[in-house]
Amino acid sequence: NEKRGNLDIKEGPKGGSEISDVMAPEREHYRWTVCAVIVLLIALCAAHMTDRPASSHPHHKTSVLKMDEASLSVINEIEDDMMLYVLSDHCFQCLPQLLGIIPARPASGTPATVGFVVDTQHALTLQLNSTSAHLEPCKVHFHFGEQGNYSLWVKNLNEPSLVSCSMITDSEPINSYLPILFAFLVFAFLAALSAIWNTVKRLDVVTNLLLCLGSTVETERLINSELGTPNRLVDASMESIIPATTGRRLRSLDTFRGLSLVIMVFVNYGGGRYWFFRHESWNGLTVADLVFPWFVFIMGTSVGLSLSSSLRRGVKRTHLLWRIFWRSLQLFLIGVIIINPNYCNGPLSWDSLRIPGVLQRLGFTYLVVAVLDLGVVRDRLNNLSSETCWYSVHDVCLYWPAWVFVIALETVWLCWTFLLPVPGCPTGYLGPGGIGDFGQYQNCTGGAAGYIDRWLLRDNHIYQTPSSRAVYQTMMPFDPEGVLGTINSILMAFLGLQAGKVLQHYRDQHRQIITRFLIWGFILGIISAVLTKCSRNDGFIPVNKNLWSLSYVTTLSCFAFVALVFFYYLVDVKKWWSGAPFFYPGMNSILVYVGHEVFEEYFPFRWKMANSQSHAEHLAQNLVATSIWVIIAYLLYRRKIFWKI
C-alpha cells in the first residue's frame, strides 16, 4: 500500500539519509498542528492591537506611515537654509544622502518647518549643513521607532557659528516586536502541552483509562506508536549503514534539514517583513542567511550515507553515476521553471530567463560532490583498530584525493576572486558598489563574482534586484547564486560530506561522533575568526551571503556542526525529542520547497490583508502559510508519500 513518488534530493542513489523506523503519534500530532494554527491566529490578532502608539498628538497623523517608517519634522530657527543628509549605520563606508532642504526662518520668532519620512530599521546619522560656509555642521545619531513622530530643532547657540540640534519625541512609536513575542509564547505553550501529554499518556493510570474508554486496538496503536513495534517506511534492503544501538534509524539529519526548510519557507514568504528575517544587504548575517547553507551541508551528509549504503547493497558504480547525473539535471530544470514566473502564461521567454537559482545550485553542487565521493568511497568499511597511529584522522586520510580536489577548487576561487582583472574596478574588490566605498566603484557590485556572471550569462539572465539595492542603491544586476559562489557551495557540501564520514567511521560510538563534530566546529570557527578578524566589515574576507565568501562557508559550517551535535544528542542518542514537527518537512524537502514557490500567491498561503502595513498581519500570514506546509508534510508522511528524484 506504499505510495511513493520520485523526488527528494536528501537521498542518494537508492538510499536515504536515515529516516525513522517508528511512526510518530498520528492523531495527537495532527490535532496539535491544527490547534497551533488556530491559536496562533487568535494570538496574532491580539498582538495586532499593539500596533498602536502608546500616546499621540492630534497634529501628527501616524496612519500615513508605512512599516519601518517614522515621521520627522525639522524645525529651523536660524537665518540660513539647511541641508539635511542621512546615513544608515548599516551602510559601510557610504556617502551621506541628501534628504531635503529646510529653508531659513521667515521672520524672527517664526521657525521654518519641513516634514520627512525616515527609516526605522537601523540607526541613522542625521547631518545638517548650512548653505553658507560660516556655520558648523550639526550631527545627530538616533534610532527612530516605527510610526513614531519626532521633531529636530535647529537653533543658534551663543556663538553665531555654532548650531544646536536637539531631537524631541512627539509621539511614542509602536512596539513592532510584540507580535514575535506573542507567536513565540503560543508555540512554546503548545510545545509544552505536547510534551506534557506525551509524558502523561505513558502513565499506567492514563493507559488503562484510555483502554477502557476506547477501542483496544486503536488505543494501543496510539499509545504504542512511539514505543511499540516499529513500522518501517522502507524495507530492510533500503536501510543505510548507520545503525543506532537500539535499531532505530537516524532522525537528526532529517530534523535538521526540516528546521532549515521551515525557516527557509518562512523567510521566503516574507518573515513578517522584519529586516532580520530578510537577507543581509551585503556583509554580515541575518536569520535568512543561515538556512540555505545548512540545507547544502545536510545534502552533503546525505550523499555520503546513501552512496555507501548503495555500494554495500551491491549497486554498480556506473548505475549510481547515471542516477547522479539524472537527478542533477532534474533539479536544474525544476529550478529554472519555478524561478521564472511566466511559466504559467506559456513558453518561457529567453530574453529575461534567469538561469542561476537555488535548485540549480543544489543540482550542480550535488553533481560534483556525489561524483567526487563515488570516485573515492569504498565498497566496504572495515573498522580500524584504535591502536593505529592515524586512527584519529582516518575519516579524512582515507579520502585524501577528494580533499586535494576540493583544496584545488578553493584555490581557483581565491585566485579568481582576488587576482582576476575587472574593468573599471580594483582587483580583489569584494564590495557592493553603489554608494558604498564612498561611491568610487558604483558599477563594481560583487567584484569578480559579478563580472563573471555578467560576462558569462549576460545581464538579463541573472538576478535583477539584489539585496544590496535597498541600502547601497546599487544599479547593477547581481546573482547570489552565481557561478563563482558555486565553488564555495561545493565546499559547504563537502564539509557536510565529512560529517557523513564521521557518522560512518564512528558508528555506535556516540561520544566519538559528538567529539569529532565539536572539533570540526572549533577548527572552522578559528578559521572564520582569522578570515573576518572577528568583525563585520574589516576582515580579510568578510562573511557575505551574496558572494558565498570563504568565511561565510566556514562560519555556517561551524554552526552546522554544532547544531548537528545538538540534534544528534537530543534525537538519536538520548531520544528526548522525536524531531517533530520539523522531521516531517525534512522527509519531503523538495516537495515542500517547490510547492511553496509555486503556490506562494494562492490562498491559503496568501490573502488580502486589512492592513498591509502591519508587521502583525504579515507575521500571522507567513506563519500560517509555513504551518500549512508542515501539516501537508505530516499528512504525506502518514500516507508514506515521498516525492523524490
Write out the catalytic residue numbers. 279
572 sits in the region (left: phi over 0; alpha: psi -120 to 50; else beta) called alpha
**Dihedral (Cα; 264, 270, 273, 277), 10-degree rounding:** 10
As a whole number of angstroms, the distance between CA 9 and CA 331 comes to: 8
Integer angstrom CA distances of residue 467 from 279, 355, 386: 7, 18, 50
As a whole number of angstroms, the distance between CA 444 and CA 460 comes to: 17
Phi, psi of 306 (to 5 degrees): -75, -40
Residue 216 identity (one-letter amino acid): T
Instruction: Provide the grid cell at 404.
Output: 586535494
Number of H helices, E strands in the chain: 18, 8
The separation between the first and the last C-alpha atoms of the chain, rounded to the nearest angstrom, is 20
- Cα–Cα nearest to 116, from 57, 76, 79, 58: 76
As a whole number of angstroms, the distance between CA 426 and CA 362 comes to: 31
- Cα–Cα nearest to 18, from 212, 282, 217, 247: 247
Integer angstrom CA distances of residue 577 from 15, 200, 407, 573: 24, 15, 38, 10
Residue carrying C-alpha cell 502523561:
200
Contacts of 498 (CB under 8 A, 6+ apart): 300, 395, 396, 520
Residues 522, 325: contact at Cβ < 8 Å? no
Phi, psi of 325 (to 5 degrees): -65, -40
As a whole number of angstroms, the distance between CA 55 and CA 174 comes to: 9
Residues 168, 151: contact at Cβ < 8 Å? yes
Element (H, E) at 186: helix 178-200
Neighbours of 635 (CB within 10 A): 14
Residues 244, 572: contact at Cβ < 8 Å? yes
DSSP 572: I
Distance of CA 201 to the CA centre of its chain: 36
Phi, psi of 540 (to 5 degrees): -65, -45
Q: Bridge partners of 130? A: 82
Instruction: Provide the grid cell at 290.
Output: 543561515
As a whole number of angstroms, the distance between CA 477 and CA 176 comes to: 32
Integer angstrom CA distances of residue 88 from 67, 99, 444, 625: 17, 12, 21, 33
